[in-house]
Amino acid sequence: MRIKIDADHGFVADNIKEIIPDFLFLLKGGIDCPDVPLNVSRSFLQSDAYVSKLSSHIIRKVADKLNQLFKDQREQFEKYWSDIGVFVKYGMLREEKFNDRIKDIVLFQTVDQTFKTLAELDETILYTQDHRQQVAYVNMARARNLTVIVMDHEIDNHFMSFIEFKNSGRKFKRVDAELGGKDSDSMHTDVLTDLFRKVSGQDKLTVKIQSLGSDALPAMILESEESRRMQEMRKQFERMGGSRDGMDFDAMFPLETTLVINDDQLLVSRLSALADLPQRQEQADLLARQIYDLARLGHGSLTADDMASFLKRSTEVLEQLTTPAEDQ
């Protein structure tokens, strides 16, 4: 039992959702409501003005307490956030009045384990759903002095859309949605584009050649924020059993990705040189396929079967590198 409702010290019920919103069910205690009848019915609770007023009062008091804690003891508030954050976000989605009172103190945790409010973040907010999986993208954002927040809970997809709806100009973008590199004017653009389309088996693969810096990876895969959200929607339909209804999810939710080749990387320069030599085409294909799968590995889109091929190919590459020159 969490919240007990009494009327003149006589027990009425506990956890009545018409009085205590579901996002506040973590609360514990009791409320004495003399104007609530002992033999209360659900229809009475849904229509009674006093009950509605009481519910609004509870929401306001909780929001005011959180605001006071944030104002007076922000460090302590931040320590509580991992436990209460999901419920606060859910409450903001469910109750407009709660959102109005709490929106300025909702926290976003960064990959550096700090916390920021919405006002302390940029208009375009970069986020990661898996810091470890997307570490290469996160590091590139850090190199550009950009803040990356962590949005790894299932509610966060809905919450980001909600924040964007409520705040004109605000936009969330996953950290792999853009890299901030400059388009390259490399003379090898067409050669590299054709090569990576061939080794990927995708004739319409979107390939961009950009300058990302010599310390960055040779290739990375970008997925637009719009495409990512469509994929999240697809997963929801699949969980609801939509695939059994004959829906063509590939057509409904197309995956749109871009392969970005880093023209500043020495490995890419050597690949370009190999691609220009007909007698070294086999090596060029091998290297391009390896670079492509490295990009997929960093993006998290390398399948189990492709992973096996990637590991086997990696062994072949290492064997070639360790073969004495006179044996080649």
Calculate the alpha carbon distances from 290 to 7, 12, 190, 317, 318 in Å: 71, 68, 19, 9, 12
| 22 is a domain residue | no
Question: Cα dihedral angle (121, 126, 127, 131), rounded to 10 degrees?
Answer: -110
- For 136, the 3-state DSSP assignment is helix
pLDDT tens digits for range 219-242:
999 888 887 877 777 777 777 665
| 200 is a domain residue | yes
- Please count the structural domains in the chain: 1
Contact 137, 176 (CB under 8 A): yes
- For 322, the 3-state DSSP assignment is helix
Domain of residue 276 covers: 183-222+258-327
Tokens 């979107």 sit at which residue?
A: 206
- Provide the 10 A C-beta neighbour count for residue 199: 19
**249: which residues sit within 8 A by CB, 6+ positions away?**
234, 237, 238, 242, 243
Mean pLDDT across the chain, nearest whole number? 84
pLDDT tens digits for range 129-167:
988 888 888 988 888 899 999 999 989 999 999 999 999
pLDDT at 1: 44
| 136 is a domain residue | no
**188: which residues sit within 8 A by CB, 6+ positions away?**
209, 272, 275, 276
Of the candidates 284, 306, 288, 287, which has an alpha carbon nearest to the alpha carbon of residue 297? 306
Percent of the chain with pLDDT strictly greater than 90: 44
| 302 is a domain residue | yes
Say how many CA atoms lie within 13 Å of 3 toward its Cβ.
Answer: 19
pLDDT at 269 over 80: yes
- Average pLDDT in the 63-72 region? 96
Q: How far apart are CA 159 and CA 153, in angstroms?
A: 10
**pLDDT confidence tier of residue 39, bands split at 50, 70 and 90:** low
pLDDT at 256: 80
Q: Which has more pLDDT, 195 or 21?
A: 195
- Average pLDDT in the 252-274 region? 86
| 307 is a domain residue | yes
Q: Which two tokens stand for residue 125?
A: 């907010």
For 261-280, b where at least 16 C-beta lie within 10 A, e where not — what string?
bbbbbeebeebbebbeeeee
Q: Which amino acid is at 33?
A: C
| 314 is a domain residue | yes
| 187 is a domain residue | yes
Q: How far apart are CA 255 and CA 206, in angstroms?
A: 12
| 263 is a domain residue | yes
**CATH code at position 212:** 1.20.120.790
pLDDT tens digits for range 201-218:
999 899 999 888 888 889
Partnered with residue 9 across adjacent β-strands are: none
